[in-house]
Structure 1
Amino acid sequence: MSWEAYLIFVVTTGVICLTPGPAALLIVAQGMSNGMRRSYWAIAGIALTNALYFALSATGIAALIVASNNLFSIIKWVGVAYLLYLGMSTLLSKGSAFSVSSDKSLAVSGWPAFWNAVIVELSNPKALLYFVALLPQFIDPAQPLGKQMLIYGASCLALDGLTYSLYAWLGSKTQKFTANAKFVKASNRASGGLLMLAGLLMAGVKRVAH
């Protein structure tokens, strides 16, 4: 593994982590409702799921899932349905993980926030496609595989923690506005609409292998 390849991997992964998506939206909503510190439950859920995807990619299982039309379709359509459900719940302000509320007792935190994040990231096949399509390009077959996987895996977790902490911080900076009913209503409409849009876009995700 060369330093040049590693730096390209870090930059590429960092840019993808910073690109807004369902996971980033979840963290922003958590920051708005719970503050930055409590958002780390959701960040941990996303990081753990990405670690699982990384492990699957490293063992080749992820490639088999992507190559299997039935398995990939199940993952994709479950994700579409879940995102649409979350979007509608947020639009109606039912206290979902994405909802912003001035009532802190309704905020989703702790283990519920952790598992919500895990479900959101598991239901997004784009994360699976990312590891299947990107990771193999940086593996040097002439070098010890275990060492490379350890370095790339640790780097992915670190980038997840840094970028989603930034999203949590940005969300926490708007906490002072959550007492405003109009702001809360507008935020939930925006979050719900974006989630439903993400679900519709996910429906168009194609397999890497055919």
Structure 2
Amino acid sequence: MSWDSFFIFFVTTAVVCLTPGPAALLVVAQGMSNGFRRSYWAIAGIAVGNAIYFALSATGVAALIVASATLFSVIKWVGVVYLFYLGISAIRSKASALTVTGDASQATGGLRAFWQAMVVELSNPKALLYFVALLPQFIDPAQPVGRQLLIFGITCIGLDTAAYSLYAWLGSKTQRFTANTRFVTASNRTAGALLMLAGALMATVKRAAH
């Protein structure tokens, strides 16, 4: 693995991590409801979800999933349904990791936020496609594959953590507005609409051609 290859992988992965999506919305909501530090439960959930997809890609299992129309469709439609469920819940201000609230005692955090964040990330087939399509391009078969995968894996998780920490920090900066009922309602409705839009876009994702 050359430094040029690593740099391209680093920049590409950083851009993907920073691109807004359902996981970013979740972390922003966590920052607004729970503050920056308590958002790390959700950030950890997203990182674990990506680590699972990375491990599957490294072992070739993800490629098999993508190659199977049935398995890929199951993952995709579970993700679509889950995003719509979260979107409707946010619009109706039902408690979830994606719902903004000004009452810290009602905010979803801890392990519940961790699991919801991980499910949101795992239900996104774009992450699966990304690792299957990208990772093999940077592996040098002439060098120890295990060491390269370890470096790429650590880099991916590190960039994930940094990107979503930024989103959580930005969300926490608006925490003082959560005392305003109108602001909370508008935030939840906007988040809900964006989640359902993400679900609709996810429904159009197709598996890679083989």
Normalised to the residue count of structure 1, the TM-score between the two structures is: 0.99
Which residue matches 2:125?
A: 125
What SS does structure 1 have at the residue aligned with 2:148?
helix
In structure 2, the residue matched to 1:161 is 161
Unaligned stretches of 5+ residues in structure 1: none
Give 1:209 deviation, angstroms.
3.1
Equivalent residue pairs, number: 210
Task: Report which stretch shifted further, 99-108 or 168-177.
Answer: 99-108
- The question of whether the paired residues in 2 share the 8 Å contact of 1:27 and 1:39 is answered with yes
- Deviation readout 1:137-175 (Å, 9 max, x if unpaired): 111111110110010000001001100000000000000
Q: 2:96 and 2:209 mapped to 1: Cα distance?
A: 35
Alignment partner, residue 140 of structure 2: 140
CA deviations 1:98-143 (Å, max 9, x no partner) are: 1111111110100000000011011110110010011111111111
SS in structure 1 opposite 2:179?
coil
CA distance in 1: counterparts of 2:189 and 2:172, whole angstroms = 18
Q: Write out the 4+ residue segments of structure 1 that deviate beyond 4 Å after TM superposition.
A: none
Matching residue's letter, 2:37: R
Tell me how far apart the structure 2 counterparts of residues 157 and 209 of structure 1 sit (CA, whole Å).
28
Which amino acid in 2 is paired with 1:140?
D
* 2:49 aligned residue: 49
Letter in 1 for 2:85: Y
**Residue number in structure 2 paired with 1:37:** 37
Shift of 1:72: 0.3
Q: CA deviation at 1:47?
A: 0.5
Structure 2: how far apart are the matches of 1:83 and 1:177?
26
Local SS of the residue matching 2:105 = helix
Partner of 1:69: 69
Q: CA deviation at 1:71?
A: 0.3
Task: Report the counterpart of residue 206 of structure 1 in structure 2.
Answer: 206
SS state of the match for residue 120, structure 1?
helix
Q: Identity across aligned pairs (percent)?
A: 73
Conserved? CA contact 1:66–1:209, under 8 Å: no
What corresponds to 2:89 in structure 1? Answer: 89
Residue identity matched to 2:180: N
Which consecutive unaligned segments of at least 5 residues does structure 2 have?
Answer: none
CA distance in 1, matches of 2:94, 2:46: 22
Cα RMSD (Å) of the superposition?
0.6
